[in-house]
Structure 1
Amino acid sequence: MTTPTGDDRTVRAITLWFPPEWTAPPDEAVIGAADQQAMEWRDAMGLARTDAERAKWSLSMVRPAVYGCYSFPNGLAERQGTCAKFLLMWAIHDDQIEHTGVPADYPRRVSDAIRGLPAPDGLPDDRFLRCWRDLGDTFRDDGMSPRWLERIGSSMADWYRTPGRPALTRHGGQWPRSEDYWALRTVNSGMYPWLDLLEYAHARELTPAQRASPTVESVYRATCELYMCCNDLVSIGKDRADGLPNIVAALVREQDITYADAAGQLLDRHGAIVKDLIATFAAGGDGGSGGAGGAGGVAPELAWWLAEARHYQPGMANSHFLATRYEPVAPMPTGPPLHVRTNTFDPTTARRAGLRLSACR
């Protein structure tokens, strides 16, 4: 392993680049109101039971509306509070079960609660199931269809079923290899239900054919991978302290390189995913309409969703940089500290400047 000396201590900037048209600023006033709604709901639903829990999940430590409003910057203001509740409760439960998992029947009970189905055999709901049931009631009251409720319920059930990172921490006495870990994290990242929320935020649903189209599924898969790049870059110190695997640390171990060089490899991977998404958004497919695409190959029926899914990508990344639990600027175990950030690029200018971005090569 390279020992850091002298200039190796200089902060290394790691920039996640996105096309400028993908960015859209959220409304700070909406964020403030939605944060307040989420915190009042946290208390009303008994999500934070102790002083320690209330401190850990206070607005000074986590701002749930930042996640929703940055991910859905053009979403309806009156729906951002519900999105914030969803993401806050999910974060709290994830923290509770990260090292223990859930009982085998729990994923189905989550799906049933969201869909408004009764608990099996009269079993009482725990505080998290009560929250899922309350959110499902809100979705129905706001006009979301049974079909959409079934889909987001299924997405959440799938997330609860996937093994958490601790399951891979010491598999067979070894840390997971980077590609094995990448495969797991792109499944259990939680991006499917998070991106499902986009339709609720805009009060507009995809048809079954549109949701099943190769275009939309490609965006979902790429979203999981972009999240993986962002999350693990800003979680290196946190994951190390928690004894959890991390893609950057895995690359360091496998290749005997510095953390900065490993982060650079992840940056290249991020750029390649962005490049593929640019092509996906440009083509657009027929959106399941069965006919030819509209201007530029994008079907009019799907254009709204593709536009908002574009905004989701840098918004999701920036929401992580604003969260106290992550470290956009952090010292590394070896080598220089890393400063992770986002920026926009003009492809021609980026090529001339020689930026390390696969999408611009």
Structure 2
Amino acid sequence: MPFSSAGCNPGLEKTKEAAWKWADHHGVELSPVARKKMIRTRPELWISLIFPSASQQHLDLFCQWLFWAFLVDDEFDDGPAGRDPRMCGSAITRLVDVLDGAVPHSAMELALEELRNRTYRGRSAAWVRQFRRDTVAWLWTYYAEAVERAAGQVPSRAEFVKHRRDSVAMQPFLDLHEITAGIDLTDAARSLPAYIALRDAVTDHSGLCNDICSFEKEAAMGYEHNAVRLIQRDRGCTLQEAVDEAAIQLARITERVRRAERALAEEMDAAKIEGAERVALERCVRDYRGLVRGDFDYHARAERYTRPDLVEPEERSELSRFFAA
């Protein structure tokens, strides 16, 4: 990993406490099995590693988003909604409607409404559109996977790379980064090819890193939407060979980050971007490096990935009740 670590946000323990209090306050009462999984997942660690200098207020908000996102992820990956396209599509439609202002009904929907209101406060219409687009794109990837599972289909490696860019859910957190950085990128800045390439590289790194670390758990559950598994299938190689190839690809993605950084500097010069807009983009370049390193370090430390313990099939659906009206 060529990028240096900025360490961990000192507010980690406070944000952990705040996340559990927030969940209890909004009726997201985790079963013993779900609670154990969340403790091992350590959302507060990931947030504290990728946002080492965020204020406590922002750290708490971002961690609560991640707490909520992990509950969604476990439900659609492990629960019945992930294997029933109609159930999956209905649940996602309700969540998107709430994100757009509909009246919430379930605990998860109520929690989403509260997060949305706190997050949108003071943000520009352009930023809200970006965050909404990225969040909705992430949610609908679960439906795509449910349909493919039901149809007995497996994506190609190229198809999966594009899919994973949304399904890893990193894009919304790159948007949230602007809150703690005190910036609000213009549409022109967001449209620079090198900035788009930089975001894609950061997101691709997170997705592949996650796939390498979670392959064992997902393979045991028959989950095929994993880069390591797809490499193994496409090449007819051993698991170790697939993991080794994925690691090589991960290193190549860090080079893509560097190339995008250089290209972005050239594009800012070409577009004569100066002042606050240039400062904001340069802040993204600096912080995205730390974000990549923080995400990498998290996967090496969280027990969700370092010590995967499989749950029994009947336990995998316990999160389903959070989506019930």
Say which of 96, 106, 109 aligns to 1:129. Answer: 109
- RMSD over aligned CA atoms reads 2.7
Query: What CA deviation, in whole Å up to 9, does each residue of 1:249-277 have, x standing for no partner?
Result: 22223323222221221122122221121
More strand by share: 1
The answer to whether the Cα contact below 8 Å between 1:185 and 1:228 also exists between their aligned partners in 2 is yes
The answer to whether the Cα contact below 8 Å between 1:210 and 1:288 also exists between their aligned partners in 2 is no
With over 3 angstroms needed to count, the CA separation of the structure-2 counterparts of 1:238 and 1:304, relative to structure 1, is same
Corresponding residue for residue 89 of structure 2: 102
Secondary structure of the structure 2 residue equivalent to 1:75 = coil
Secondary structure of the structure 1 residue equivalent to 2:255 = helix
Q: Which runs of 5+ in 1 are unaligned?
A: 1-16, 331-361
With over 3 angstroms needed to count, the CA separation of the structure-2 counterparts of 1:288 and 1:214, relative to structure 1, is farther
More helix by share: 2
Secondary structure of the structure 1 residue equivalent to 2:66 = helix
Corresponding residue for residue 2 of structure 2: 18
Q: Does 1:56 align with 2:43?
A: no
Corresponding residue for residue 32 of structure 1: 13
Rg (Cα) greater in structure: 1
1:44 maps to a residue whose letter is: H
Corresponding residue for residue 246 of structure 2: 266
Distance, in Å, in 2 between the alignment partners of 1:85 and 1:181 is: 28
2:239 maps to a residue whose letter is: Y
Distance, in Å, in 2 between the alignment partners of 1:49 and 1:292 is: 48
With over 3 angstroms needed to count, the CA separation of the structure-2 counterparts of 1:176 and 1:279, relative to structure 1, is closer
The answer to whether the Cα contact below 8 Å between 1:107 and 1:158 also exists between their aligned partners in 2 is no
Deviation, structure 1 residue 300: 3.5
Corresponding residue for residue 343 of structure 1: none
Corresponding residue for residue 293 of structure 2: 314
Alignment of 1:83-94 (within 5 A): 83-94=62-73
2:18 maps to a residue whose letter is: Q
Distance, in Å, in 1 between the alignment partners of 2:97 and 2:308 is: 39
Q: Which runs of 5+ in 2 are unaligned?
A: 310-325
Say which of 27, 38, 45 aligns to 2:26. Answer: 45
Distance, in Å, in 2 between the alignment partners of 1:314 and 1:179 is: 25
Deviation, structure 1 residue 321: 2.3
Say which of 304, 308, 327 aligns to 2:306. Answer: 327
The answer to whether the Cα contact below 8 Å between 2:37 and 2:304 also exists between their aligned partners in 1 is no
Which shows bigger deviation, 144-153 or 306-315? 144-153
